[in-house]
């Protein structure tokens, strides 16, 4: 049996897909706007001083030479302080993740009315717009020097960040499972527990692990103002020109952060 082909069946011109000129125009406007912002901020940011990186390279090399011979004579003490730094980051991240769950849900536009969403979002903006160092200074005044001030500083700042990330994950969920649970007569809380949380939990865990990595690095900086951990010892060593000891602490910090990064990466693979 021969297959017959109607004349003109294969010769029909395919409709051309029109170019989205609106999208192209917005893309061009975005790039032009970015260029104008960079030009506008060039002088205030003193970007013209980039040549100093090369003209003053000798001074930088001389300063860096002091760190070329690490001294691990107090290595055990440095490791203990590094563990304190990790513990500060652990508690700050855990408390933030717990509090970010309700705040993240209340910040999602598909979960709460606007008169709840907007105030909660502004509160979270306040939490994350102030640097951890500022919070640490405030808590050092309130509770005294030590690791607890660092925990509270990381807790407040990280809550604002995680709540933002959690709410964006909630707003991107598939609404059909929630609608199916609602059709059974479930309460609003049951909709969230059985329809929303299972969809976003892996992503929430990934965000929390990432923030823990960041908080380990941030906790080392908080030690500068007396919030405990290895950062406090590091600052004292640099201020006293004990560069070999400071180099040893920097190496310990580098190895620790690298190990945490590898472990958290494997954990994220399990959740996602």
State residue 57's pLDDT score: 64
Domains of the chain by start residue, with CATH: 77-271 (1.10.3720.10)
pLDDT in tens, 175-187: 888 888 888 888 8
What is the C-alpha separation between 95 and 240, in angstroms, rounded?
35
CB 249 within 8 A of CB 167: no
Q: Is 154 helix (H, G, I), strand (E, B) or coil?
A: helix
Q: What is the DSSP letter of 111?
A: T
239 closest CA partner among 231, 228, 229: 231
Interatomic CA distance for residues 157 and 153, integer angstroms: 6
The residue behind tokens 């002088």 is 43
190: its two tokens: 């049951």
pLDDT tens-digit map of 23-50: 888 888 999 999 999 999 998 888 888 8
Residue 226 region, left (φ>0) first, then alpha (ψ -120 to 50), else beta? left
């Amino acid at each position: 049996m021969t297959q017959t082909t109607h004349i003109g069946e294969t010769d029909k011109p395919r409709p051309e897909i029109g170019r989205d000129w609106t999208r192209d125009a917005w893309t061009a406007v975005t790039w032009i706007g970015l260029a104008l912002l960079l030009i506008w901020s060039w002088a205030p940011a003193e970007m013209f001083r980039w040549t100093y990186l090369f003209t003053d390279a000798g001074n930088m090399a001389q300063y860096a030479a002091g760190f070329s011979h690490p001294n691990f004579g107090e290595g055990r003490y440095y490791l203990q302080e590094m563990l304190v730094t990790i513990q500060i980051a652990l508690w700050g991240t855990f408390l933030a993740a717990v509090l970010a769950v309700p705040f993240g849900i209340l910040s999602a536009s598909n979960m709460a009315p606007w008169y709840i969403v907007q105030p909660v979002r502004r509160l979270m903006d306040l939490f994350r717009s102030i640097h951890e160092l500022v919070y640490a200074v405030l808590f050092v005044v309130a509770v005294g020097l030590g690791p607890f001030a660092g925990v509270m500083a990381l807790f407040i700042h990280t809550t604002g960040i995680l709540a933002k990330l959690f709410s964006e994950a909630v707003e991107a969920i598939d609404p059909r499972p929630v609608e199916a649970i609602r059709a059974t007569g479930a309460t609003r809380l049951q909709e969230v527990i059985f329809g929303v949380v299972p969809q976003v939990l892996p992503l929430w865990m990934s965000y929390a692990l990432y923030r823990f990595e960041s908080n380990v690095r941030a906790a080392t900086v908080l030690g500068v103002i007396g919030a405990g951990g290895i950062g406090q010892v590091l600052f004292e060593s640099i201020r006293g020109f004990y560069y070999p000891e400071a180099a040893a602490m920097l190496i310990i910090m580098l190895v620790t952060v690298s190990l945490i990064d590898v472990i958290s990466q494997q954990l994220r693979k399990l959740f996602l």
